[in-house]
């Protein structure tokens, strides 16, 4: 099983940005922990991060026939990127949306996700563990369901 792990804007600054909200772990730390879990689950991961909406879309589009699902932390694009929402819908792959912080306990604008309707589910508020929980949920869902 092959999974595309997509990280949106500002996630390249994990470990140094707003540590009280996002913690001290870097994106490299996140990827390392995800890879360890992927090895135990028997899946291959492809990592991609960009601060640019179009680059995220290009990566999702280009991998659409190479992967079985998408794990995405869209960052601020969560709340307004209809292009990203439509891109996820267009590739017809199971997708899990994840967030490090509890978006529902923060500013009101963070409580709405335009991506959620085209995702299997959303996991937020568990720090790095949101990624691990999301990967487990995605792999389990793909294993139990046929998405052809």
Catalytic positions, please?
A: 22, 99
Q: Are 45 and 51 in contact (CB under 8 A)?
A: no
User: Which 3 state secondary structure label does DSSP give 113?
Assistant: coil
How far does Cα 67 stand from its chain's mean position? Answer: 14
Place of tokens 């509890």: 102
Question: Do residues 134 and 113 lie in contact, with contact meaning Cβ atoms separated by under 8 Å?
Answer: no
């Amino acid at each position: 099983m092959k999974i595309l792990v997509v990280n949106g804007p500002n996630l390249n600054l994990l470990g140094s940005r707003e540590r009280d909200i996002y913690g001290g772990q870097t994106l490299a730390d996140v990827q390392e922990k995800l890879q360890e879990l992927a090895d135990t689950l028997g899946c291959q991961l492809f990592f991609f991060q960009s601060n640019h909406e179009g680059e995220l879309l290009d990566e999702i589009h280009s991998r659409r026939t190479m992967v079985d699902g998408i794990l995405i932390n869209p960052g601020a694009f969560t709340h307004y990127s209809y292009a990203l929402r439509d891109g996820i819908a267009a590739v017809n792959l199971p997708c899990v949306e994840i967030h490090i912080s509890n978006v529902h306990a923060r500013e009101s604008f963070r409580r709405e996700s335009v991506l959620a309707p085209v995702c299997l589910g959303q996991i937020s508020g568990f720090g790095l563990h949101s990624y691990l929980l999301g990967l487990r949920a995605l792999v389990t869902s793909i294993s139990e369901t046929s998405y052809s």
